[in-house]
A and B are shown apart, each in its own frame.
Chain A
Amino acid sequence: MTSHEGENLPEKRPGSGELTADPVSDPGLPAHTWRPTDVDARAEKRAERQIAAMFGLSAVCTVLFVVSYFTLEIGEVTTTIGGLGASTVALGLSLAGALLFIGIGIIQWARKLMADHEMIEMRHPASSSPEDREATVAALNTGIEESGIGRRPLVRNSLLGALGVLALPVPVVLLRDLGPLPGDALTKTIWSEGMRVVRDVTGTPIRAQDLQVGDLVNAEPAAIFETDEEGEPLVEGVELHVAKSKAAVVLVRMEPDDIVHGEGREDWAVDGILCYSKICTHVGCPISLYERTTHHVLCPCHQSTFDLADSARVVFGPAARPLPQLPLAVDSEGYLVAQSDFDEPVGPSYWERDSR
């Protein structure tokens, strides 16, 4: 391609002196042509009637809108008309008609009956005239000169300093109470030694024999279901949501021989049952799609895939770290419990993550 480079360049063409001349002269604006409605009185009347009919139809639609508003039931509508309900559909269609007919009528009016002579307007440069520029610059200079901002550096610099001191800290200080500082909040979850692993919806504790090989159970720490003597939950509201957003786990049971235990994690499983954080280490979606034959679990948000048989190693996708594993044990009543909290922060990576 390089050998052809520049083959079409004007500077290499012969007779380049003629280049600026237009090859075809501007024939000027074509003559105005009359529309049927301009020259035929009947066509004109017809267009008038069409336009008025549009506006009339719009009014009819508005009446239909009001009628639908007062006659059609609302409420539980998910079973009628595509799950939207008769009211929504009727209101939508009548409103659409009322608006569209006005729009079509007006545009028809503009196209058929309003004058259609093209007009010519001359452009003016966006810039100001040189005189205006000079006058403005002179006025600015006079103003600046009279203020003495150039001659009095002490005044100027102290003002700039004060403004700088004002602008930097005040917004920052004022916004400090947007939230608490992170501290070590992200490194801990509600899990603690001996806390039972319970089903996420019912809150019932789980025995090892409740799980079949190949099962995956969504679970939570027992603490988020605990209540005081009066039956009021101990953890509720924001606290509950924060606890759930970090402490959610999955329990999986597989053939003990399939498991490749991580270093120092040999005793974290109970009868082939493993417990992992449910929170993806990529950006924090709860992972959920489990393929029992491969022991892989897939995050539905960005498709990071983890091998639960091998310490939840990342086998595919954008996640960089395995899912944290919760060490399991069995309590005196035979229920699954945590040996401790997670030994690393759950969820997405962040700057000071390694410095716990």
Chain B
Amino acid sequence: MTIDTSKVADSNKSAATARKPGKLGAVGTWADDRLGLATAMRKQVRKVFPDHWSFMLGEIALWSFVVLLLTGTFLTLWFKPSMAEVTYMGSYDQLRGIHMSDAFASTLNISFDVRGGLLMRQMHHWAAMLFIASMMVHMMRVFFTGAFRKPRELNWVIGCLLLLLGTLEGFTGYSLPDDLLSGTGVRAADGFVKSMPVVGTYMSFFLFGGEFPGDVIIPRLYVAHVLLLPGILLALIAAHMLLLVYHKHTQWPGPGRTEQNVVGYPLLPVYAAKAGGFFFIVFGVTAFMGGLLGINPVWKYGPYDPSKVTAGSQPDWYMGWPDGALRIMPGWESHIGPFTMPWNVFLPIIVLPGLAFTILLLLPFIEAWITGDKRNHHLLQRPRNAPTRTAVFVALMTFYGLMWAAGGNDIIAIVLGFSINQITYFMRAAVFIGPVIAFIITRRWCISLQRADNDKLLHGYESGVIMRSAEGGYTERHLPIDGGRAYTLTARDRDEVAASRGETDANGVAAPGTGRIEKLRLRLNRGWYGHNVQKPTREELEEAHHHAEHEHELQAGLDHPADGHQFDGHHTVEEEALRGGKN
């Protein structure tokens, strides 16, 4: 059956013909005379973007940031960033007549007396969570697929900064309503600042305009939240996108997709439509969440009172992991002469997040140093094909996850009926042991998957057809995978272990240029690649296929005419009827 291409729709007849200049053309000419747009846009209008579901994760972050700007602007029209004390006289019965800060009163006003105000507040909060969550998942995608490698290391750095600033933006944002829960968080932050040696109390007094709580912290957080941080975020997002366009997007290897090209759909119309449509989807989902899922009901917490606290006080989820570190840290404190060093606060909340962020920032450079790889990479790697990298990140994620769980130790204790003390003791050990176990399991798992890929290449896929031999033994028939899949599986680099120049020569003299650091690098390099499974060579593949052919000959004539495997995804279906096609 052939397709009657005479009926092919207009959409795919890409015969671009120059049209007569109309009114739009006149506007274009006017603009181009002044801005030179045609030159700038010539290559960008039909710029090619590759397609894969995982490339959408960063887009979620981008669009949720736009939703944040829109809903946030709405909120500023009524929010009063002031700690002046007022008596609440609004619609919410249970707090009427209570003294509170203007910030809290105006938050109640937005929630109860501005139509759509509560919706916008909740959309803003959900979009913030979506923003940070999607940045994190996007970062995982970039790391696991090796998209951070040269020439994209700087975009990784920018992305890390975006994550850090997004987290700060979240913290400053949820502190603004000046409710009991967020006020407790700000008070804890005051304790964090005070734990810094030498400058701690000075920083605290400068931050709060005197002793906690003072009356300036809300206006100061506000200006950071609506001007300073969003400004930097916008600039960094612009840089992130410009670099993405300049480098061109990475792509998955496959037939016709190489290090030298990009295969995909043009910006105009397909990618613009998909991305633009996706903005509406993200916006719509936040509206759905804002309308149906309550979040941060500050009226239930009440206004901030420094002598009160609610049980189960927890920060927003993205601040949870340092809070967990704070919870499981032993109560260490040093007294050095007249000075006090509160390690129990300083280490988990000042040093640890700083250290974690630095490690995150340096990951691409550490990997490049160990592997010695200075090539450009535009093809993505499957996580299994970089077992050590994947295992390193899974170990870091395990550390993060355990810390995060420790941040909910009171909730876990209540829900599961465990002793909070035992959970805490367990976590103290688990945050060190867990990542090691995760590293070992992940690496071996990746290597097993690499072996499975090689088996598929050499012996074919498992067909599900069980053969019984004359002796009565049972075997499963393997059928060769098609050329495209075989190419995709083998479209990866062989790992090149650095030559062991660090060894001493026969006379016991160290080879030149091999200092202690270089020796360390070589050891790490061997550890990095040492257990990886390499793809088969052409000879190995040919030999295996030869062997398989021989086997097939023995099995010839045993096949049922229709073995039911035409549609198992391993065969082309060109000869079969196309869905909906009548001809």
Q: Which residues of A contact B (CB under 8 A)?
A: 4-6, 8-11, 13, 15, 18-30, 34, 36-41, 43-44, 69, 74-78, 82-85, 87-93, 95-107, 109-110, 113-123, 125-127, 175, 178-182, 185-186, 200, 218, 220, 236-238, 241-242, 244-246, 248, 278, 282-289, 300-304, 314, 316-321, 347-355
Contacts and interface: CB of A to CB of B under 8 A. Distances in A.
Nearest to A124: B248
Interface string B308-338: 1111110000000001001111111101011
B330 A318 contact: yes
Given A87-B115, A114-B273, A302-B327, A286 B309 contact: yes
Contacts of A102: 277, 280, 284
Contacts of A220: 307
Nearest to A345: B340
**Closest 10 pairs (CB-CB, A-B):** A92-B291, A283-B191, A103-B280, A29-B256, A106-B277, A245-B306, A100-B284, A99-B284, A320-B333, A355-B338
B77 interface: no
Nearest to A236: B85
Given A106-B277, A300-B311, A76 B344 contact: no
B108 to A, nearest CB: 11
Given A30-B256, A96-B291, A179-B205, A22 B490 contact: yes
Nearest to A241: B213
B264 A118 contact: yes
B258 interface: yes
Interface in B492-528: 494-497, 499, 526
Interface range on chain B: under 10, 10 to 19, 20 to 34, or 35 or more?
35 or more
B207 interface: yes
Given A122-B260, A126-B151, A19 B537 contact: yes
A345 B213 CA distance: 17
Given A18-B538, A76-B92, A117-B14, 9 more contacts: A8-B531, A19-B494, A74-B115, A93-B292, A110-B277, A114-B269, A238-B210, A242-B212, A286-B309
B279 A103 contact: yes
A118 B191 CA distance: 57
A350 B201 contact: yes
Contact of B273 (A36, A74, A106, A122): A106
B259 interface: yes
A8 B533 contact: yes
A88 B276 CA distance: 26
Given A92-B119, A100-B284, A40 B195 contact: no
Given A24-B483, A244-B305, A318-B344, A110 B274 contact: yes
Interface in B526-559: 526, 529-541
> Which secondary structure characterizes the binding site on chain A?
loop
Contacts of A90: 291
B291 A26 contact: no
Given A30-B484, A99-B283, A115 B11 contact: yes
Contacts of A286: 306-309
Contacts of A238: 83, 210, 213-215
Given A28-B256, A123-B259, A116 B201 contact: no
B184 A24 contact: no
Contact of A96 (B288, B308, B342, B580): B288
Contact of A352 (B274, B339, B496, B535): B339
Contacts of B210: 179-180, 185, 238, 242
A303 B410 contact: yes
B291 A89 contact: yes
Contact of B327 (A30, A44, A95, A318): A318
B566 interface: no
B310 A300 contact: yes
Contact of A320 (B197, B331, B538): B331
A117 B280 CA distance: 25
A179 B207 contact: yes
B537 A179 contact: no
B74 interface: no
Contacts of A347: 191
Interface stretch (B1-9, B129-137, B169-177): B1-9
B11 A113 contact: yes
B299 interface: yes
B156 to A, nearest CB: 14
Nearest to B101: A241
B530 A301 contact: no
Contacts of A24: 457, 483, 486-487, 489-490, 541
Contacts of B278: 103, 107
Contact of B526 (A5, A34, A126): A5
11 contacts: A26-B256, A91-B119, A118-B263, A123-B378, A181-B205, A238-B210, A241-B213, A283-B195, A286-B309, A289-B311, A354-B339
